[in-house]
Amino acid sequence: MRDIDVLLTMDSVMGDGPLGEIADGAVAFAGDRIAWVGRSADAPDAPDVISARGTVGLPGLIDCHTHTVWAGSRADEFLRRLRGESYERILQAGGGILSTVRATRAASEDELVELATARLLRMRDRGVTTVEIKSGYGLAPEPELRILRAARRAGERAGVRVVRTFLGGHAVPAEHRSDRAAYVRQIVDEQLPLAAGEAELVDVYVDVGAFTLEEGEMILRAGKKAGLGIRIHAEQNARTGAAAMGARLGALSADHLERLDDEGIAAMAAAGTVAVLLPAALISLRDTPPPVVRMRAAGIPFAVATDLNPGTSPVDDLWLAASLACLTMGLTVEESLRGITVVAARALGLTDRGRLAPGLLADLVCLEPPPGEPPSAAGLVQYWSGGRLRRRFRGGEG
């Protein structure tokens, strides 16, 4: 690819500023890897040259927090929340996550693959090349394994790289409400050994109505022992100490963080734990933003994701999430763009993507700016759905 008006490499060694910007840039591929990055005038000779004049180029987008595999609808819950009912009350009454669990358990693996493929195709058409997908709507050994298999198959069908996260610790299912300890033992003794062969990461939801700090730590320690990378849903509805606990265990990321305190900030900064911000969920739940200014001052990097799910964040547009992170949480344009590329890769423990540099995966997207806008980073984020996708390459193919 050459003649890219503005190439955002996300690598300050390759270009200027925090986005590694190169004017009139070019990228050369060799197989599924990047062979060269620089100015079009300096590009090596190649048999196949494609011009992308009038576009902004950047690494393939990475949505690092989603729940893409589910069945059923929660439109009724949306109406209830509009009438003022809290999510916690809906969950305690058997709705929320538990409603989706019932529908997902009843669906076949093929049905889940069809639904997830359709969702991934919508994400792919906006320039996404890697998606993290969590389980957590099965909450029993076989249904959790079925979700992870469906995620892999859907990614293969949609042409999207999928990173799978085991989230058996998403909620306590109805059949275990009278014996939470038995469900935690099931996660550790039965679900995790099965999931470890299908997942790369483990996550747990520590919050009011979900799992306690002690239960969450038990699950994460078991996942780490099984060889899975650690992530954690933390400090969303209540301040629990989950972010600090996850950081002490070496968590790649802590996600949500609306009620993160100074102890959690210090622990995350010391451990290098990424803060994954989920602005669509914040808006849907009419919540308050995380302490971005204090996290920034501590040097915590920000990733941005959709949190795609059927209840609290029914959003599959990563560009929208990037725009909302600026408008509702105070991120800069540079932070939001790095948050859907290089920092998102870091949140998943991936070092082979998220930047445009020799030796990395040849994942590249080129977008036309909105009508009347010059090609620029700011223009992509200002408009809530980014630019129109001109070209998308995954592993050099596109």
The pLDDT score that the predictor gives to residue 266 is 98
> Both 230 and 368 in a single domain?
no
Are 228 and 177 found together in one domain?
Answer: yes
Whichever domain contains 42, its CATH number is 2.30.40.10
Section 352-380 average pLDDT: 96
pTM strictly above 0.75: yes
pLDDT computed for residue 33 by the predictor: 98
Beta carbons of 124 and 162 less than 8 angstroms apart: no
Q: Is the pLDDT of residue 309 over 90?
A: yes
Q: Are 273 and 254 in contact (CB under 8 A)?
A: yes
219 shares a domain with 142: yes
What mean pLDDT, rounded, does the chain reach?
Answer: 96
Domain count across the chain: 2
127-165 confidence digits (pLDDT tens): 999 999 999 999 999 999 999 999 999 999 999 999 999
pLDDT at 93: 76
In this structure, are strands 161-169 and 128-134 parallel, antiparallel, or unpaired? parallel
Q: Is the residue at 398 inside a domain?
A: no
Domain boundary among 311, 331, 347: 347
Q: Evaluate whether residue 208 is within a structural domain.
A: yes
Q: Which two tokens stand for residue 180?
A: 């939470």
* Residue 234 placed within a domain: yes
Domain co-membership, 190 together with 74: yes
Spatial distance between the Cα atoms of 124 and 317, rounded to a whole number of angstroms: 10
Give the CATH number, domain containing residue 243. Answer: 3.20.20.140
Q: Are 389 and 122 in contact (CB under 8 A)?
A: no
Rounded to 5°, the CA angle 122-126-132 comes to 70
Same domain, yes or no, for 55 and 72? no
Show the domain range for 28.
4-59+355-393
Q: Within this chain, do residues 46 and 76 fall inside the same structural domain, yes or no?
A: no
Say yes or no: 240 and 333 in one domain.
yes
pLDDT in tens, 252-267: 999 999 999 999 999 9
> Does 363 lie in the same domain as 340?
no
Give yes or no: residues 36 and 162 share one domain.
no
Same domain, 323 and 377: no
Residues 68 and 169 in one domain: yes
Together in a domain, 208 and 85: yes
Residue 336 belongs to some domain of the structure: yes
